[in-house]
Chain A
């Protein structure tokens, strides 16, 4: 009977587990949302808003969200930032939110182009507690009120739940039946897309371990034959 050795089985399992843990601890998405509806809208100027809440309420700093590679699709950032808690950075470079406080928020003005695109990286360790950490992304109007969306109970375009398992992303479109607080017509914006972006270093390490295991299996087969 031609079966892999117990060692090789464990090695293969270890490679898969290493890949899963890597994904759990450090995951990156490319986020894209159309912003053409915002161009020239009376509710502007607009702001990009990011929030990170610590579910335990203690500010345990076990989750960090990094935002980078901002592309405004022909638009641009506007000088002046607001940050609270463990938030810092700028749309011109990178933004980091760490849940070192219960409530952590960053927002900054921008001039909309056709789309807004950025990379979002989440690093977290196991949470504990019954309430997960949560990250949200929204647009604010000129009154610093959220643009209405279809999200239940709150007006955000993306909600990411960061618990003991992989982050769970839920995206929402705008609710154009509701007039923005700053006035003007309701704005129609499709829900953003979140595309996972494998990190080269992590992916490579996991793949290398897996390939090594497969090579071992193949070699063992050849020896037996």
Chain B
């Protein structure tokens, strides 16, 4: 057997001068200089929004990744996004139909319309709380606008919401429960409030969770309480004229932006305010105009909250790489 000799010169010879061929400078003169200083960065909303707009492809890619990863190696895959509300509906229909009977007609449509808003909110927050922490390997190694992370959680929940809307529409057809009217005009405003409010809280919990990992656990409890404070499974109309600590329950509901969105969704998709032959309404007996006012107010509050949460997130995000 002939052995090849070991490759000559395993250790490279140093000092072999490299010659540079030609000079082809890249036109960096035309590129804006990026300056990083020790001063805390200032949030210029418009400028930052433009920067974020440039990252929208990344945002989309992160959402796609999240969807793919979530249902990888599951047999039903994306169907879970639809099964989830169906199972909820089944359980609550059982509880409120048989164990604690109520008199809400077309109960599945009622609960699905509320759940649509609620699920988007709670899924966003649950995923959003871990958005920065779970992507630590990215955050500590690559620069990109950090807002993309919590926003991608909202985006993921939005895709889920789209699928759940299909389920809702199916049940609306099944029960022949559709009530076209002025209320449908509320939809854009309600969706706006939902997205803005959810994004605001998402940024807040994502930033907080970097410092205190308790956030993600605490959040589960908070969301559970919040869920029952929001009239998703029970009829808000039945609580009209009730008082807690001297405050009317309707007013308290309205202070909760998610409840406002749920009211709007129920009005749009469910539509039965006062079922025939029942003493009490199912939904709050508000006119569409009144609902619009409530939503408009919630929108203003949500935008203010979003600005605040964004500011906090933006200022904290400079130190994420250090704290992870």
Q: Do A and B bind each other?
A: no
Q: Interface residues, chain B, CB within 8 Å of chain A?
A: none
Q: Interface residues, chain A, CB within 8 Å of chain B?
A: none
